[in-house]
Amino acid sequence: MKTKSFTAGLLFSLAIIACLIPSGMADDAAGANESAKNVILLIGDGMGFPQLTLARIDKASENLSEYTSVELFMDGMQHSGYVSTSSANSFVTDSAPASTAMATGHKTNNGVIGQDATAIPKKMDGKNLTTILEMAEKAGLSTGLITTTRITHATPAGFYAHVDNRDNESEIADQLSKSNVEVILGGGLQYFVAKNDSVPTGKESKRNDDRNLLADFASQGYAFVYNGTAFQKVDAKKTEKLLGLFESSHLQYELERSSSKEMDPSLAEMTKKAMGILSKNPKGFFLMVEGGRIDHAGHERNLSNNVADTLAFDEAVKAALDFASQDNDTLVIVTADHECGGLVLQPENLAEYEGGVIDPFFASGTTKTSGPRYDFITEMDEATHTAVDVPVMASGPGSEMVSQGKLDNTQIFEIMKEALGL
């Protein structure tokens, strides 16, 4: 079903096309514009506009003359717009309802994954919603999920799980083991082995029962890897199903990853491998890629990790765009679930205006003092999500749908569904 806003636009376009070209060509022309064989959705968790600006400043080595010409890969995409992110019960969303909105087209309450807003977080299930990934699986497409967080974390879970509590990661892992998702790459091994067992990377299980999900996945024909060396050896041409879990919890921040010996694969490497495996399906694929720790760096007020993880995410965007440039059948959408940290890019004082210096800081979690009007103190160690709109960029068939004024995050689902003809 189409949303009202773009059904009207579509009908208008069809009317124009019908007037301008011979009737036999009208279907082809309209169809070529809408349908995509594959959809790749890349989500920068906590990646608002200021995070993009700061990543660009960093890419230009903080040099003003370079800054005006330097671009992130996502800056060069064909269409762009902006997205509102509120949840059913809050202006400020967390990743659970934001992911649910993009995956299902429905708003739900903070903390809830894949269920409607009748769910009471941590207390009562709502009605299960159908996700774009489930629709793609049902239609015979291949599917993949990639993240730098635990694969049971809210953003990836929004595409396959249905729970009233995002923290119930044992249950979320169970649901993943029944999802038939062909490529699963990220962290979170601690929820895949039985209670009291240790995971292959040596840490303890965090499961609350005796289930061994790694055995479940093996019996379903998944190849399983848990380190970068084994991952690099996976032959995409010969692999149909891949489970790669590289850490007990989240993957390392990009700065740690790239300097460690036992290197986890990068987000771009995981994206390339997944596309190699999934693109063998002649019916097409749906792939979600999350740069999940941009958000964590925002919470921690850590600018270096925030920037480095944003740039690593942008490399994954490049990998997706390179793949899409090989054919005209792939819709690539890049967006965020919400901004995190209230990142402010400002000079520290008036003199610095002249000097062109900025002193970025994460402003959320600060509060006014009782004294003079502009005095603030940092009240919370951890910065919070904010309610500001986030960017969306898209390339490929159907990508013009992101350039229609403000979108709501639920419309990301409609755009993907329409593009895949589901």
Q: Which residues of this chain interact with Zn ion, rule CB under 5 A?
A: 295
Nearer CB in complex with Zn ion: 3/409: 409
Nearer CB in complex with Zn ion: 295/300: 295
* Residue 315 to residue 303: CA distance in whole angstroms: 19
Asked if residue 286 lies in contact with residue 39, where contact means CB atoms within 8 angstroms, the answer is yes
**Cβ contacts of 197 within 8 Å, gap of 6 or more:** 205, 212
Q: How far is the CB of 123 from Zn ion (least distance, A)?
A: 22
Nearer CB in complex with Zn ion: 293/417: 293
DSSP structure string for 389-416: -EEEEEESTTGGGG-SSEEEHHHHHHHH
Q: How far is the CB of 295 from Zn ion (least distance, A)?
A: 4
* Residue 261 to residue 297: CA distance in whole angstroms: 22
Nearer CB in complex with Zn ion: 295/408: 295
Q: Residue number with the shortest CB distance to Zn ion?
A: 295
* Residue 123 to residue 223: CA distance in whole angstroms: 37
Q: How far is the CB of 318 from Zn ion (least distance, A)?
A: 25
**Cβ contacts of 409 within 8 Å, gap of 6 or more:** 83, 84, 85, 98, 101, 102, 335, 337
Asked if residue 177 lies in contact with residue 188, where contact means CB atoms within 8 angstroms, the answer is no
Asked if residue 420 lies in contact with residue 286, where contact means CB atoms within 8 angstroms, the answer is yes
Nearer CB in complex with Zn ion: 134/339: 339
**Cβ contacts of 412 within 8 Å, gap of 6 or more:** 41, 83, 101, 102, 333, 335, 392
Reading the block at residue 387, the tokens are 């309610």
Nearer CB in complex with Zn ion: 85/411: 85
Q: How far is the CB of 298 from Zn ion (least distance, A)?
A: 7
Q: How far is the CB of 306 from Zn ion (least distance, A)?
A: 12
Catalytic residue, candidates 86, 95, 170, 399:
95
Q: At what angle do helices 49-59 and 303-324 cross, to 10 degrees?
A: 90
Is 95 a catalytic site residue?
Answer: yes
How many other CB atoms sit within 10 Å of the CB of residue 333?
27
Q: How far is the CB of 113 from Zn ion (least distance, A)?
A: 14
**Annotated active-site positions, please?**
95
